[in-house]
Amino acid sequence: MLGDTSFAIHPGKEKQSAAVVYRDIGNIISNKKTDDTYLFVCVNGSVAVQFYSDSIVRITMNQKGDPKIDQSQTVMKKPDNVAITEDFSKDIYTLKTSKIKLVIYKAPFRLIVKDENGQIIVSESDRGMAFRENGEVTVFKKMHENDHFYGFGEKSGFLDKRGEKYEMWNTDVYAPHNPETDPLYESIPYFMTLRAGKAHGVFFDNTFRTVFDMKSESDYYSFSAEGGQMDYYVMAGPEPKDVLEQYTHLTGRMPIPPKWALGYHQSRYSYETEAEVRELAKIFVERDIPVDVIHLDIHYMNGYRVFTFDKERFPNPKKLIADLKEMGIRIVPIVDPGVKKDSEYTIYQEGVNQDQFCKYIEGETYFGEVWPGISAFPDFTDEKVRKWWGEKHAFYTDMGIEGIWNDMNEPAVFNESKTMDVSVMHRNDGNPTTHRELHNVYGYLMGQATYEGMKEQLQGKRPFLLTRAGYAGVQRYASVWTGDNRSFWEHLQMSLPMVMNLGLSGVPFTGPDVGGFAHDTNAELLTRWMQVGAFTPYFRNHSALDTVNQEPWQFGEKYEAIMKKYIQMRYEWMPQLYSLFYQASISGLPVMRPLLMEFPEDEKTYNLNDQFMIGDNVVVAPILAPAITDRAVYLPKGEWVEFSTGEVYDGEKTHLIHAELEDMPIFVKKGTTVMQGEWISNKDKVAKNIQMNIYAGDSGETYRFTYYDDDGETFDYENDSYMELDIEVVSKTDAIELKVLNQKGNFSPTYKEIDVNVIGLKKTQKVIIDGKISRENNYKISI
Ligand code: GLC
């Protein structure tokens, strides 16, 4: 980041140019195999190699002793029982599964990973694994001319990260957020490389400050950490979707969120009183604008003390919550980690008396300043503390609350370093270490404590958790919003690659503050942003203190009508979105995808930042600049039907598309389907009628889709209470053939059939459902 004034580029400004001296791992001296681990002892350290599946290999290098292979904060999986062919010759060792071949050179230790076709995916040559005296560990990998990089969690800038250098160190950045602002709130030390249409991934499971450098050299990229081990996994792909499945096999997948959490969320820093919240809810209902959640920011608390309500501002929170629930609206309160230092405050008393707070090695509690003033911080690295914190959430669940918003959990502290003193000692479940090592997992572990506590308290209902900070695997506990953006068009633009890369990093449920958090929004920006928000996985409008209000009605009827239409569309698309969230929960695939995920052979998609896909067949191309009513839209292979006009466009071409303020261009691929429901009312959000829209093709294309439904709010789906329909549509010149290939689960929804609507059906085409020719205009699937 640049300094504050031009002094930052003063000609005489001293440069730090101390030569960086790396020590190479050196030659292999000996090797052995125990259970599932190959160990290579080298001159300057040891390397463990483990196969987590046919397609995933883990490399762990420790320069000081035996590699530690059981310390991950996030990988709960153990290596699978993989069949490995070994070939140990004089100079080279090869280890081969059915999907990857590892070639290890002995002198010095160098490693090459090849895919099942013998193509090199990750390789080292004159440089490989190395470390420095100060404890830093690094690995250099060959970078190919046509490598493109994605993932890295929450980063600003464009989709393709080639030419960038990123740091992972969870940081509270209020301003600025621009393409060079790094790091931000989340650390996901993982990336996917796309090379000539094939993909592979690397997950560097190191919680210290890490750096990924795809910028400094033209033929090498590197990743390094300030301490710890060089501990990374290579995932062989070969398709982008395979990489995601492999990465989430290791770090886990998001449980199916409650349906209400997929609806529209209204937030503001802050709705300050019970009366204000009631009024807000009333307006939504009166104007028939859908809303599922109202967030309570820090003003609901008594002096920002977590697990309290301010009795004057919120005299009867339980009643408020119950009344709102009657209206179909839930309350999600904010909970920050900082516990106010106040000897008369029970949570602080308990924290001190039960020894729950982070401490220095000498035994003093660490204090830092956040919203409540001087505060102590629970040590979430300890199971006892996580349990205590989780149990405290009974305060909220007893009032009927089912969702929590975790903020400031980097942890943010109002001091120069913006966070906790790195020398604070964490208990780390019996293996104490410093904040320097565990900083990046503090928020993630707070998420675990919160999610598990809420799950326990809610007795069978699904909790919803929103978090700002996290680490790889955060998806198991939380959805993520992208922090304090601003009401700038540039931030709307930047949010698309950011959310897409989060999706490629295993976190499917994410979104920015719609409308922009800081700075004043305006009618046009808010309207365009709401259109996009209706299709991003997480949809929350949030704004800061002292900015103009940005609820959907704030800018007059014309804009309100458009925003209302799009928020309602969110609900109409819910059956489709919910099915995609189900898919995310079983395979790790994101709901919102960059086009490259579906079209990895198409170079035009490699850095396409201003369009995205919902699932595998819908392209959304929003307007992202003021006063624009025409935009270029690139459509990949296939034929595409514009959702609102029905116009058909050829793929592999760029089209100029017209979109007045009330329109956002959406394209559905011909030969595919979209499931739709209906908007009823805030009180009753369960669609009574479900419709399957088939966009008829005619060139023999086959499309498969899994439609999923359940009660939307409990874990009963784990006991078979769900409905899964595996659907196939074949588009032929003379017929559209629809088949339910498979129906699973015991859940019976209120609707008993699904209406089928064929769009673009030709006179020459019949509609055949489950082998029977259907009567015109009365197409249905019975369930
Ligand atoms: C932080 C959060 C923001 C919240 C504010 C007050 O800035 O990122 O969303 O409104 O704190 O709690």
pLDDT digits (tens, 9 = 90+) for 645-694: 999 999 999 999 999 999 999 999 999 999 999 999 999 999 999 999 99
Evaluate: CB of 184 within 6 angstroms of ligand 1: no
Q: Which residues contact 597 (CB under 8 A, 6 or more apart)?
A: 240, 241, 504, 589, 590, 613
User: Six-digit token pair at 364?
Assistant: 């003093």
pLDDT digits (tens, 9 = 90+) for 174-233: 989 999 999 999 999 999 999 999 999 999 999 999 999 999 999 999 999 999 999 999
Could you tell me which of 58, 142, 147 has the C-alpha nearest to residue 102? 58
CA distances from 434 to 228, 245, 336 (A): 12, 32, 21
pLDDT digits (tens, 9 = 90+) for 717-758: 999 999 999 999 999 999 999 999 999 999 999 999 999 999
347 CA from centroid of ligand 1 (Å)? 22
**CATH code, 25-251:** 2.60.40.1760
Pairing of strands 690-695, 753-759: parallel
Candidate from 8-17, 103-112, 244-253 with smallest mean pLDDT: 8-17
| AA identity, residue 616 | D
168 CA from centroid of ligand 1 (Å)? 21
Same CATH topology for 25-251 and 267-336+387-587: the answer is: no
pLDDT of residue 700: 95
Active site members: 407, 410, 484
Q: Is the dihedral of CA 76, 245, 438, 380 positive or negative?
A: negative
Q: Is the dihedral of CA 191, 42, 48, 98 positive or negative?
A: positive
Evaluate: CB of 437 within 6 angstroms of ligand 1: no
Question: Which class is domain 688-782?
Answer: mainly beta
Half-sphere exposure of 315 (CA within 13 A, CB side): 4
pTM of this structure: 0.97
Evaluate: CB of 334 within 6 angstroms of ligand 1: yes
Could you tell me which of 388, 474, 384, 381 has the C-alpha nearest to residue 424? 381
Measured distance CA(739)–CA(566) in Å, rounded: 31
Cβ neighbours around 64 below 10 Å, total: 12
Measured distance CA(167)–CA(89) in Å, rounded: 39
Q: Which residues contact 728 (CB under 8 A, 6 or more apart)?
A: 702, 703, 704, 737, 738, 739, 741
3-state SS, residue 333: strand
Angle at 246 between CA 119 and CA 511, to 5 degrees: 120
pLDDT at 3 over 70: no
172 CA from centroid of ligand 1 (Å)? 10
CA distances from 547 to 463, 541, 550, 599 (A): 31, 13, 9, 41
Q: Where are the domains of the chain?
A: 25-251, 267-336+387-587, 688-782
Query: What's the average model confidence in pLDDT over 517-527?
Result: 98
Q: Is the dihedral of CA 377, 380, 385, 388 positive or negative?
A: positive
Using N-to-C axis directions, what is the helix angle for 317-326 and 274-286, rounded to 10°? 0
Atom of ligand 1 nearest to the CA of 269: 10
pLDDT at 5 over 80: no
Evaluate: CB of 516 within 6 angstroms of ligand 1: no
pLDDT digits (tens, 9 = 90+) for 687-711: 999 999 999 999 999 999 999 999 9
3-state SS, residue 783: coil
**CATH code, 267-336+387-587:** 3.20.20.80
Measured distance CA(193)–CA(172) in Å, rounded: 28
**Count, residues in the chain:** 783
Instruction: Return the CA Rg of the chain.
Output: 27
pLDDT of residue 587: 98
pLDDT at 571 over 80: yes
pLDDT of residue 774: 87
Residue with tokens 């309160």: 333
Measured distance CA(505)–CA(710) in Å, rounded: 27
pLDDT of residue 2: 42
